[in-house]
Amino acid sequence: MLRKAKVSDVKYIHRMINDSARRGEMLPRSLMELYGFLRDYFVYCPNDGKTVVGVCAMHIFWENLAEVRSLFVAPEYRRKGIATKLVEACISEAITLDLYRIFTLTNQELFFKSMGFIEVDRATLPEKIWTECMKCPKYPDYCDEIPMIIEP
């Protein structure tokens, strides 16, 4: 079951994102940040609707720009279309809000390419660079994420 995240999901989301961050797959998120941006998040819960096995956020960056971020699906639930459903929900919500430039920074280039995203130069996303990338320990010399964008 795909749904918007609830306050009761935050500790699961926090654990998934930060476990993934420890493996270098994404940036960590604090509990404070997750509670503050909870409305950005979608979760996927199989069967019981309570156990969170997937998460993804659509974050509004500017009047014409949104980001799909913090995509994670538990390893035992991968390759079942969950990540696709999560990203589609984020794109759909962005479109509902009249946001038609949606980007991601990713290590999963083929997955996002299959969804219609194309690679772009990082310089085309100055809002991201100056707000979050500057805080990342990998920036600027060791960043291994590929900037991609979709304009549905």
Which CATH number belongs to the domain containing residue 104 in this structure?
3.40.630.30
Tokens of 53: 């096995």
Question: pLDDT value at position 128?
Answer: 59
pLDDT of residue 77: 96
Please give the pLDDT value at position 140.
Answer: 61
The pLDDT score that the predictor gives to residue 83 is 98
> Which pLDDT value is given to residue 143?
66
The whole-angstrom separation of Cα 13 and Cα 7 is 10
At position 64, the amino acid (one-letter code) is: N
Q: What is the reported pLDDT for 47?
A: 80
In the block, residue with structure tokens 């476990």: 19
Read off the pTM: 0.90
- Residue 38 in contact with residue 5, Cβ under 8 Å? yes
Q: Residues of the chain whose pLDDT is less than 70?
A: 126-143
Question: How confident is the model at residue 65, as a pLDDT?
Answer: 92
Total structural domains in the chain? 1
User: Which tokens belong to 10?
Assistant: 């935050």
Query: Which pLDDT score is estimated for 24?
Result: 82
Residue 136 structural domain: 2-150
